[in-house]
Amino acid sequence: MRPLLSWKALGVGLILLMVGLLLWPRKASPPSAAVGLCQRPAEQYTSELERLRRLKDSLFQVDPASPIPAEERRRFTGLRYFPANPAWRWKVRYEPLPNALAPVVGAVWVPLPAHPSCKPPARLLVYGEKNGQLYVAFWDSTAAQGLSYEGGRYVPLERFGDSACLDFNRAYFPYCAYNPNYICLPYPPENRLCVPILAGERW
């Protein structure tokens, strides 16, 4: 029987967000704090991101909650990512949607790059957990090219009042990408992007 939907089933969110909080600690932050996170100097930002990724690889090898099957962990050499690019992080407007059907709790307005053959959506829906964590589940055209998981990716969202920091460099695969014994929430149709998001985790 497959495990019930849980933090583990929702992807690497628990590990990623816990590590992210360690590396990017937040005090009682006013909305302007989102600017500091999304506009850190590129060199400092890239260094912290690489450290986060190395720590995540270590957790995937030894953590009992790792989605990597136990018999494959000895051969696990680390996850693959698109090159870190600070241009894929933005301070965005956050809009609560109190009347939306769960797990949708809000939306963000994202300045996605233009595409010659389609118009990407300006608004992405946000999923919420009971513990208050927020994330955006999305699909983009890198999946059609075999560069990312066909079921989509998740990206954690850090909210600061009516604004938030959305950083696609932190996009990750859900657990079901690594292990069929997990069931993961699908991305909403509104978050299907015709543009390639060349950031975050990849095959």
How many domains is the chain partitioned into structurally? 1
- In this prediction, residues 101-112 reach a mean pLDDT of 97
pLDDT of residue 37: 60
- pLDDT single digits (tens) 174-194: 999 999 999 999 999 999 999
Picking from 77, 128, 74, 78, the residue whose alpha carbon sits closest to that of residue 104 is 128
75 in any annotated domain: yes
Task: Flag whether 138 is in a domain.
Answer: yes
* Residue 4 falls inside a structural domain: no
Asked whether residue 2 is domain-assigned, the answer is: no
Q: Pull the structure tokens for residue 83.
A: 């090159």
Structural domain boundaries enclosing 182: 13-202
Residue 39 pLDDT: 73
Contacting residues for 90 by C-beta, under 8 A, at least 6 apart: 38, 110, 111, 165, 166, 167
199: pLDDT strictly greater than 90: yes
DSSP 31: T
193 within some domain: yes
Query: For residue 36, what pLDDT band results from cuts at 50, 70 and 90?
Result: low
Residue at 178 is within a domain: yes
Helices and strands per DSSP (H, E), number in the chain: 4, 8
Average pLDDT score over the chain: 85
Task: Name residue, tokens 């939907």.
Answer: 5
**Domain presence at residue 6:** no
CA distances from 20 to 55, 139, 148, 157, 178 (A): 10, 22, 22, 11, 21
Asked if residue 5 belongs to a domain, the reply is no
